Chains A and B, each alone.
Chain A
Amino acid sequence: MKKFNIAITGLGGQGIITAGTILKNAVLDSVMQDVSGSERRGGAQREGYVEAFVKYIFYDSIAELQNSRKNMHSPMIASGDADALISLEPLETLRAVSYINKNSVIIFNTNTHIPISVRMGKDKYPELDDILESLYGITNRVFYYDFNKLSLENFGSIISCNVISLGVLFAKTNIPVSKNVIENILLKGSKAEDNLKAFNIGLNL
């Protein structure tokens, strides 16, 4: 059995859950694949922290697929067990380091969103350099971009940050899914043209 775990984190309204669903649809191409992964939305409609897990499972044999010791998968990712982390907010990247290990790939958005405690002067928002230092202390495969800026420049809104980040995922990790599969999924969805473009922007970063 092969596995590939992806944790996606960020804030409400950033399309975290949509990104997870796009990735999950990729397993429908083969019966030997499976996927699990829950979403968690913080208390609010917007602004709260949101997390989606995508756990790909590739069975080696039909016997394995039918083995009840092997074919049941937790919806959560254990500490250190993510192959990739996508985070659409720097602070949330730091919060999600529990999922990553020394071989994980981190992809994150540098556009910050200041939590209330920082507004109130009770906490300090860490500097980007500090965040990077902490991340590099775990893995050296860290990729970061201003997805908000990229999305604004290309689409006039920040709505495409999530799909751009998926492009980066396919460019920078050895995710065992073909990018054509994702492109086909995007083609069938709404705003296909924009999404395909966004995905390709990410692929070429």
Chain B
Amino acid sequence: MANLFVDGKYGDRGIILGNEAIARGALEAGIGYASMYPGTPASEIIIALDKNKKNIKNIYTEFSLNEHISLHGAIGASWSGIRSLCAMKNVGLNVASEPAHFLAYTGVKAGLVLAIGSDPGAPSSSNEQDDRWYSLHTYMPIIEPSNIQEAKDFTKKAFDISEQFSFGIVLMAPSRLCHNAGILHFGDCLNRDLISGNFKRDPENYLNLFNLAVKNHKKYLKRNELLKKYVYNSELNMIIDAQISSIKSSRIGFVSSGVIYSHLVEALNFINADDYKILKLGITFPLSEELIGKFLDNVDEVVIVEEAEGFLEFQIKKIAFEIGYHGKIHGKNIFKAYGELTIDDVIKGVAGFLRKAVPEHFSAAINKSEILSDKIPQRMGTFCVGCPHRATIYSILKASGYSNTDSKDRDVIIAGDIGCYTLGLLPPYNAMDWLTCMNSGLSIGQAISIADKSKKIIALVGDSTFYHSGIPVLMNAIQNNSNILYIILDNSWTAMTGHQKTPSTKTEIDGTPIPNSVNLKDLLKSLGVSYIKTLDPNSVKRFSVIIKEALKEKGLRVIIAKRECILQEERRKKIKNIKFKLENNPEIIYELQKERCVKCDECFVELACPAIQSAKENGINNGKEYYFIDPVSCVKCGVCYEVCPNSAIRKVEFNLHPSINSESQLCFLNNK
């Protein structure tokens, strides 16, 4: 496909991801600045712009060190007259909440949109928070698109609203929209030649202190009132009237927004109840009292269909109280406030409320899957094959003596943190004692080291998380002489969100050196850390000895577990092979000799590399089970070779040569 994302014009159509549609909307609106701290499900919003930046005139993209910086950056661009887009995941707003709270006071110059990827059900997050509640005190207006087309159109529109009322606009997109892919009808882009910055002093608005702050507060409350008038007339909100006004159906109304609105429309069709009044809210803050009043006036009962704690219900009930509405308002009495609100939940809730039957195939499927559900073992994610984090977690567990147990009491406490290594909290490792927000590991750990002196504490952190907000925590720990072992898992990339650079990434994936990269060790030294050791985590034996030693010491100790993310390492190899045709290098393979293996489970369960697999002798059900290394998925990291206590795993080095002498070599060659 030609690059429609960049070159698409009015009349073009394409299949595009929700996140890309948001980015495209911003592009059509003529943004010149885009920033984010990467976070699922929002990452592709800025990735889409960043990877195309060579073909987009006058665009600056930035993966900032954290959300606080990222939003401030977007504000700076806006004040310089450049439309800016900032994106983050739901919890990112906690970090950026400071600039978010000032933005209404100071206002914007050029339009500013803050796109937030929320994550109901928390498949990729440490909580389910609904960031819409922030707007009750940040006064940032909220726009909620329901599908791909709206994601683009509403984003584009948001820039105009932002400029007209001088607010930064929040664009809410749950993971179901971020990662939906569908048809987009493109629009035209504003002329990108016109983008150029010009910061003009504006002390009245930008100096926000003492009585100036009070003045600004008053000003934005007034702007908010003006905005409500706009909201009343905005085409982003829509009242869909009932067509056949039977008495019953015309006195019931539904209110919804965003993706949940799409569930609602489908649910009503699903149960053949498609003739009720619906208020679709595209702008969910501020609400227009007039609009809500107009809708309520015509119904005796209203059902608010939304996810999480009921942000719309809260606002609508307040308005209903003020206008003296006497009907019934339903919401969280029907729909749960936790977890993702699925299409099933909406079908059940709406059918239950309307006393309509659900289709037979729907209830049959639910029954069937309930019966089957306990037969189905859960599948949880784990580290990639060859991931250095697996080796780190394994070494820590070996050194502290807690492998493969989830016992309640341990003498060594292991603090988790946010990143790929978070997966170490899952079985078989069960390695972590808490996992909340960015840099909670060392922060909470240093206090526990004071509160409970009988325990030894290991705090983990990834390189990207460390640079995000870990440096102040570390300085605090140094200053207060915390008794803690801090392990920095430095894999050179923000791997979980698609391998963005971190400050200490030394070379680009194609080998280009990055000149201003930070030397982590020097940085630690200058912060005053005296105990620093750098190790390759894949040398698990040595690594666990060093951890054991470090646990005996007092004070703040840092170990850097340094090895590049395996996915990036593999990519580099591929590029190199193409560049230099390194075909004649000796090949290494690892072979599990089943005659020598005693199935002690050290590699299969403790290390649990997914490339080590089991099969039944002769492929029959009651055959004896044996372990083998799947040559297709093994990346030859050699860790299993180190951990096998029975020398059952063999390292075979050979040049690609006619004398092929083993089954797995043959297999390896066949798969090459």
Binding site for B on A (CB under 8 A): 11-12, 20-21, 24-25, 27-28, 34-49, 68-70, 72-81, 91-92, 94-95, 97-102, 113-127, 130, 134, 137-138, 152, 156-158, 188
Contacts and interface: CB of A to CB of B under 8 A. Distances in A.
**Overall SS of chain B's interface:** mixed
Contacts of A39: 179-181
Contacts of B280: 68
- Cβ-closest 3 pairs across A and B: A44-B381, A80-B365, A48-B381
Nearest to A97: B369
A43 B123 contact: yes
A134 B375 contact: yes
A47 B269 CA distance: 37
A102 B362 CA distance: 11
Contacts of B428: 116, 119-120
B590 interface: no
A115 B380 contact: yes
B608 interface: yes
B557 interface: no
B182 A123 contact: no
Contacts of A130: 375
A88 to B, nearest CB: 13
B378 A117 contact: yes
A59 to B, nearest CB: 12
A79 B369 contact: yes
Given A45-B420, A80-B366, A72 B380 contact: no
Contacts of B263: 74, 76
Contact of A116 (B259, B364, B426): B426
A42 B426 CA distance: 13
* Highest count of chain A CB atoms <10 Å: which of B240, B342, B378: B378
Contacts of B179: 38-41
A157 B123 CA distance: 30
Given A49-B379, A134-B375, A44 B423 contact: yes
Given A36-B180, A75-B177, A152-B632, 10 more contacts: A34-B182, A44-B420, A45-B495, A48-B380, A75-B262, A76-B342, A95-B376, A119-B614, A156-B670, A157-B632
A79 B344 contact: yes
Given A24-B182, A115-B377, A117-B377, A98 B362 contact: no
B18 to A, nearest CB: 8
B545 interface: no
A72 B361 contact: no
B384 A36 contact: no
Contacts of B573: none
Given A91-B376, A115-B379, A78 B364 contact: no
B670 A78 contact: no
A74 B266 contact: yes
Nearest to B359: A80
A72 B365 contact: no
A164 to B, nearest CB: 16
B362 A80 contact: yes
A37 B180 contact: yes
B496 interface: yes
7 contacts: A11-B379, A37-B182, A46-B385, A72-B266, A75-B177, A134-B375, A152-B671
Contacts of A74: 259, 262-263, 265-267, 343
Contacts of A126: 375-376
Nearest to B340: A76
Contact of B605 (A21, A24, A77, A120): A120
